Chains A and B, each alone.
Chain A
Amino acid sequence: MMAIVAGETEGRALTSARERDSVGGAWIRGLTERDLDRAYRLAGFILGDATEAEDAAQDALSRAWQSRGSLRDEDAAQAWFDRILVNLCRDRLRRRRHVRWLALDDSMPASTDPFARAIDADEMLRGLGALDADHRIAIVLRYWADLPLDSIADRLGVPLGTVKSRLHYALRDLRRAIEGPKER
């Protein structure tokens, strides 16, 4: 007997616990190299540190695997995983208490970390170091991951208005960071 055919019923919520387990498990197992690159780079741009990005992505995979039974619908899988990853990155940033990847002083030795180096090498990205964790995450989700505002709100678990507000203030702070004292 054919137990489940999701082919023609996109977005169908799977009901039994076992089905949910298979949906989440299958989704994680089916992650392609491109998916993993995306997760790693998302964490890398948020954290600015390749080692921490690798740790965060590993933790996110573990956390997602442990809670794979909670994924009811493959439509929501990417947002579900992003939410886990972003939350872990936010925890790391807050524990860090200060921004490690801000290198405004040109006399500082160039970092060997590939994310820190890429960020330090660009004036715009360097300005991200002036932002707090929530603002930086919003910027990376919007302008690197290219997500629409409602998708960002879904991933962050905040209202749409909060996303707009964070982006507004993040862009203002970025502009000030780039333009320097003349704006202040």
Chain B
Amino acid sequence: MDPNESLDQGVEARLRAAFQRARVPASPPSLRARIDELAAEPARHRSPRRPAALLAAAAIAIVGLTGASLLVGSRPPAPTPPSPSRGPSSPPSSSPPVIVPWVDRPAAQYVAPTPVPFPTDARPCRASDLKVSSGPSGTALGNFNLRIDFLNVSTSACLLRGEPTLAGVTAAGKAVPLHATSGGYFGDPGPPANIAPGERAAVNVGGAVVCDSTSSRRAYEVLRISLPNGGGPIDLRLAPLETPCGGVSVSEFGVPALAEPTPEPSISPMTARIDAPPTVRAGTTLSYTVTLSNPSGADVSLVPCPSYTEAVGSGSSSRWVGTVRYYELNCDTIHAIPAGGSVTFEMRLALPKTQPTSSDVKFTWYLQGDSGPFAGAPLEIVSGP
């Protein structure tokens, strides 16, 4: 036996013991609060490729990528609160039933309304139609982003769609392909759409700013952007562009002015609370209640009747079983949650016999996808009957 191997085993055992002995604190309440805060944000983005809010929310350090005065992205406007909506037959606040019975009315999974697409029927833009300039740039969470703007200086609308190809131009005039990867941390600058004369489209060029010591970078003073659909090359002078470690990424073209998504479901002012037994047997039906409370000053309509999701997950990383069901709420007699009031609904969730027993179960309930209130509760799953 390698003497070092036995020495390593000794160190391993001592390490495990040391970690077990170490007295370290539990997580601070800010982590739970962060989850609540994230879950309460409306889904601003139709695509996970466009986390512009993250760029804005993060502490942004301005970097001298262009040598120009750089603009830091601003946080999108706060979501519009839901309009006070009153159901046509809202019950008086004083007479809700004690518990609204469960109804076996399975629903399709909630799907947010599809945004209306912007027109994309104009001719493809050519390099001669466009004036290119560097736009806002910044870094967030170890990634930099440089937006490149394309102003339509022609007399008719044109369309930039897809991704450009990029090359760095050396001082000797040689174009060196940058082999940019598609996408990037900051996603697209906006949806694709026709660009009217005098309007702008853009792409995001990015990469990682955190490099290890072995990463190499090259600096170019001219970025050559070749437009899709045979639109030709167009050069942008920079001062200078340092290629990031790990390569360059490029987004698809989009129109930043249209980046604000079409209205998605407003975040609900309601909160939800689960009251459930501490244990349930696998293979039986979990009966519990959910209380929806409305702390706002306006009734929240249940017309049309919303659907809800209930989910129980248990097991280990090697064998995880999630039971997820979608149902309609029982709105037969309740058409609104009154201002300042609450309504309790009976819930049922049939668990399969294969649901693993566990004392650390993920048990969640939420109304109408990400925009609705949600709740979680502790639950232990014990062996079936």
> Knowing A26-B366, A124-B15, A175-B8 touch, does A7 contact B106 (C-beta < 8 A)?
no
A29 touches B35 (CB 8 A): yes
Q: Is A19 an interface residue (CB 8 A)?
A: yes
Closest residue on chain A to residue B309 by CB atoms: A22
A26 touches B311 (CB 8 A): yes
Rounded to whole Å, the gap between the CB of A184 and the closest CB of chain B is 14
Which residues in window 118-163 of A have CB below 8 A to B? Answer: 118-119, 121-125, 139, 143-144, 146, 151
A114 touches B54 (CB 8 A): no
A32 touches B360 (CB 8 A): yes
A4 touches B109 (CB 8 A): yes
Among candidates A31, A54, A79, residue contacting B35 with C-beta atoms closer than 8 Å: A31
A168 touches B8 (CB 8 A): yes
B324 touches A171 (CB 8 A): no
A33: chain B residues at CB < 8 Å are 26-27, 32
Rounded to whole Å, the gap between the CB of B204 and the closest CB of chain A is 15
Tell me the complex Cα distance, A30–B314, Å: 11
A5: chain B residues at CB < 8 Å are 323-325
Tell me the complex Cα distance, A119–B19, Å: 9
Tell me if A's interface is mostly helix, strand, loop or mixed.
helix
A143: chain B residues at CB < 8 Å are 12, 15-16, 19
Tell me if B's interface is mostly helix, strand, loop or mixed.
mixed
> Knowing A2-B326, A7-B322 touch, does A91 contact B210 (C-beta < 8 A)?
yes
Which residues in window 75-110 of A have CB below 8 A to B? Answer: 75, 77-79, 88, 91, 94-95
Among candidates A21, A54, A74, A114, residue contacting B31 with C-beta atoms closer than 8 Å: A54
Among candidates B4, B28, B355, B363, residue contacting A172 with C-beta atoms closer than 8 Å: B4
Tell me the complex Cα distance, A172–B320, Å: 36
A61: chain B residues at CB < 8 Å are 31, 34-35, 38
Q: Is B11 an interface residue (CB 8 A)?
A: yes
A171: chain B residues at CB < 8 Å are 8, 11-12
Tell me the complex Cα distance, A174–B320, Å: 36
Q: Is B25 an interface residue (CB 8 A)?
A: yes
Q: Is B39 an interface residue (CB 8 A)?
A: yes
Tell me the complex Cα distance, A41–B57, Å: 25
Q: Binary interface profile of B, 1-43, with partner A (CB < 8 Å = 1, else 0)?
A: 0001001100110111111011111111011101100110000
A contact residues vs B (CB 8 Å cutoff): 1-8, 10-11, 18-19, 21-23, 25-34, 36-37, 39-41, 44-45, 50, 54, 57-59, 61-63, 65-70, 74-75, 77-79, 88, 91, 94-95, 114-115, 118-119, 121-125, 139, 143-144, 146, 151, 168, 171-172, 174-175, 178
| Interchain residue pairs A-B with the least CB separation, the first 6 | A30-B362, A7-B323, A40-B27, A124-B18, A69-B48, A36-B27
Give 8 CB contacts A-B under 8 Å.
Answer: A26-B324, A29-B364, A44-B25, A54-B30, A65-B38, A74-B320, A78-B317, A124-B17
Q: A26-B311, A125-B22 are in contact. List 5 more A-B contacts (CB 8 A).
A: A4-B324, A29-B374, A62-B38, A65-B39, A124-B11
